[in-house]
């Protein structure tokens, strides 16, 4: 099993293009006109979104057991 991660966004870089939401296989990211949202319960830690962002706005943090 890959390490469980939490995906975080750098809001200074993200321009809300929706690309990450489009490639996420489990719809764990939602991009609205008002902002970027991560749904931890749906994420399977595949990291596809992180590699897909054209401006490198996404990064992974280890998911603490208590979170
Ligand atoms: S790591 Fe995978 S499952 Fe989690 S938000 Fe990114 S694309 Fe979706
Ligand atoms: S792909 Fe990158 S720039 Fe586009 S919405 Fe996702 S985090 Fe923001």
Mean pLDDT, the chain, integer? 94
What would the mean pLDDT of 33-50 be, rounded to a whole number?
97
Using CB distances shorter than 6 Å, the residues near ligand 1 are 7, 24, 26, 28-29, 43-49
Architecture of domain 5-62: 2-Layer Sandwich (3.30)
Which of 2, 3, 17 has the alpha carbon at shortest distance from 58? 17
Domain ranges for the chain, please list them: 5-62
* Residue 36 scores a pLDDT above 70: yes
Question: For 13-26, how does the pLDDT look when each residue is reduced to its tens digit (9 = 90+)?
Answer: 999 999 999 999 99
Mean predicted confidence (pLDDT) in 44-58: 98
Residues paired with 38 in a beta bridge? 29
Atom of ligand 1 nearest to the CA of 42: 3
């Amino acid at each position: 099993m890959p390490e469980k991660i939490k995906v975080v966004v750098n809001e200074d870089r993200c321009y809300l293009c929706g690309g990450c939401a489009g490639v996420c296989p489990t719809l764990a990211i939602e991009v609205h006109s008002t902002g970027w949202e991560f749904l931890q319960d749906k994420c399977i830690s595949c990291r596809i979104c992180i590699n897909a962002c054209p401006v490198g706005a996404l990064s992974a943090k280890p998911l603490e057991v208590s979170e």
